[in-house]
Amino acid sequence: MAESARRGRGGGGAARRAERSAVSFETAKYIERNIPNFEILTEEALQIIETNAEIVLEEVGVNFLDNPAAIQRWRDAGAEIDGERVRIPRGLARKLCATAPSQYTQHARNPARNVVVGGNNLVLAPVYGPPFVRDAVGGRRYATMDDFNKFVKLGYMSKWLHHSGGTVCEPTDIPVNKRHLDMLYAHMTLSDKPFMGSVTEPSRAQDSVDMCKILFGEEFVRDNTVMTSLININSPMTFDDVMMGALEVYAQNNQACIISPFIVGGAMAPVSVAGTLTQVLAETLAGIAYSQLIRPGAPVIMGAFVTSIDMNSGAPTFGTPEAAHITYGAGQLARRLGLPYRSAGSFCGSKLPDAQAAYETANSLNMGLLSGVNFMLHACGWLEGGLVSSFEKFVMDADQLGTLHHLARGVEVDENAQAMGAIREVGPGGHYLGCEHTQNNFKSAFWKSDLLDYKPFETWEDEGARDTQALATLRVEKMLADYQAPALDPAIREKLDAFVAQKKSAEPDSFM
């Protein structure tokens, strides 16, 4: 935990006083890879998949449901229309995608926390979407707004997490038609990291934009990207009006969207890797092309959320080799399109933050780094196939994200790193612990977990023989006790309060 000077946007004496008294928590810069990507597909395989995706778009096409304006846009762009079916001539979707930027900056209200999405970068954001939460004390239960706020606080305090995320859990105690307001308010006030907007209705996307205008200033939002939001495709090949309506709002406002198939392999896509990649590419080409029909140059991320399936139970499975194949391959396809790429995460099927959860998560996090992912949603806290946000697993995974940062640094070979002086000094049979090179370098040489157990056996036993989950329970408690909110101009907070109150009073509660 380190205090650091920060400059918020907006101002006034009260804001400055609030800033001076606030503690800031250290956050690592987003990962800038200094290592190559792992390229699993040959040039021939890539060409086959790219050709097949174009054939799928032209001959099978995609559906844009309940969205006459979208159909008209596609017609005007040269697609062949048959009811809600849009068949896209070969090359058209790829050509439309060319106006999407290869990278963009998402601004945070604390400029030190801005992230650049694309290129060699990797931005890490927490779990998104679970209706349940779990912790060792309270067990598994429906998520509430109180849980949501806690996850935002943990994310704010997590050193290796660059992004506050979006629906870190579903606050089921708040009406469906109003919870987006509370969620955005939490991200805006409890954290100063970048965040995501609502996508559950076009009007809620507009509310998200409007709240950002309060937080960042109207002019700033007009000129800059301040949200990255998640637009799922209904695989196979279907774009519904709700998600597309939200995409339209965001693209019109120059706000970024992840356009992402949501695929359980064997159910929503072919049971083969090459077939799934073909569908992923066709779907993302169509979705991203559509974003560029709304506004050429609108920032987008090519997404691929893909799991395998246990054909006995029908359960989705995570951290599996086939998901890794797809993630590696989709990364190559995204780079050839020149687009930022979203995939991977702290995926697991386990009900508990146990060894299964950790194997599956580590498999996924590692391949996420090596596949060239630029934006990793669900990077910590995911449990039970995405049904549960786990407090313990949130801090466990967030700690492991440090390994990705250090791996991505690559290998230095400057004179200091070569350490020839140390090798000469120590010689055969000697010991490096005391030598000058070790003393000069040990502090930054090795990544060190802030959570895991490295103690001698006897100490560990005396302290209660705690497993990782037990250590994580303590960590969660301590972090929430230590939490201090980042400073925020009271005038801005008042305007946000007023906006939320006005919106909430404007329509009756709905839990549908």
Site residues (CB under 8 A) for a copy of itself, limited to 196-235:
234
Residue choice 279, 327, 343, 473 for contact with a copy of itself (CB under 8 A): 279
How far is 496 from 109, CA to CA, in rounded Å?
14
- Kindly give the pairing relationship between strand 62-64 and strand 238-239: parallel
Binding characters for a copy of itself, 429-468, by CB under 8 A (x = yes):
xxxxx---xx--xxx-xxxxx--xxxxxx--xx---x-xx
Number of residues this chain uses to bind a copy of itself (CB under 8 A): 124
Q: How far is CA 91 from the centre of its chain?
A: 30
Decide whether 182 or 354 has the Cβ nearer to a copy of itself. Answer: 354
Task: Give the residue among 70, 126, 374, 82 at the shortest CA–CA distance from 243.
Answer: 70
Contact call for residues 34 and 127 (beta carbons, < 8 A) = no
How far is 372 from 409, CA to CA, in rounded Å?
14
Contact call for residues 245 and 71 (beta carbons, < 8 A) = no
331 interacts with a copy of itself by CB under 8 A: no
Indicate the SS3 state at residue 483: coil
Residue choice 68, 321, 501, 509 for contact with a copy of itself (CB under 8 A): 321
Q: Please, which of residues 332-371 interact with a copy of itself by CB under 8 A?
A: 349-363, 366-367, 370
Binding characters for a copy of itself, 48-77, by CB under 8 A (x = yes):
xx--x--xx--xxxxx--------------
Binding characters for a copy of itself, 88-127, by CB under 8 A (x = yes):
----------------------------------------
Decide whether 219 or 458 has the Cβ nearer to a copy of itself. Answer: 458
Stretch that binds a copy of itself, among 21-29, 69-77, 117-125, 425-433 (CB under 8 A): 425-433
Q: b/e map of 379-417 (b: 16 or more CB within 10 Å)?
A: bbbbbbbbebbbbbbbbbbbbbbbbbbebbeeeeeeeee
Contact call for residues 155 and 164 (beta carbons, < 8 A) = yes
State the nearest-atom distance from the C-beta of 476 to a copy of itself, in Å: 14
Q: At what angle do helices 490-506 and 179-190 cross, to 10 degrees?
A: 170
Decide whether 21 or 446 has the Cβ nearer to a copy of itself. Answer: 446
Q: Please, which of residues 384-413 interact with a copy of itself by CB under 8 A?
A: 384, 387, 393, 396, 400, 403-407, 409-413
Task: Give the residue among 342, 326, 248 at the shortest CA–CA distance from 287.
Answer: 248
How far is 95 from 412, CA to CA, in rounded Å?
40
Q: Kindly report the three-state secondary structure assignment for every residue of 132-192.
A: EEEECCCEEEECCHHHHHHHHHHHHHCCCCCCCECCCCCCCCCCCCCHHHHHHHHHHHHCC
137 interacts with a copy of itself by CB under 8 A: no
Q: Residue 411 corresponds to which amino acid?
A: V
State the nearest-atom distance from the C-beta of 90 to a copy of itself, in Å: 15
Residue choice 32, 66, 218, 416 for contact with a copy of itself (CB under 8 A): 416
45 interacts with a copy of itself by CB under 8 A: yes
Q: Kindly report the three-state secondary structure assignment for every residue of 83-114.
A: CCEEECCCCHHHHHHCCCCCEEEECCCCHHHC
State the nearest-atom distance from the C-beta of 97 to a copy of itself, in Å: 20
State the nearest-atom distance from the C-beta of 43 to a copy of itself, in Å: 11
Residue choice 3, 66, 310, 497 for contact with a copy of itself (CB under 8 A): 310
Binding characters for a copy of itself, 237-276, by CB under 8 A (x = yes):
xx--------------------------xxxxxxxxxxx-
How far is 347 from 214, CA to CA, in rounded Å?
35
State the nearest-atom distance from the C-beta of 21 to a copy of itself, in Å: 32
313 interacts with a copy of itself by CB under 8 A: yes
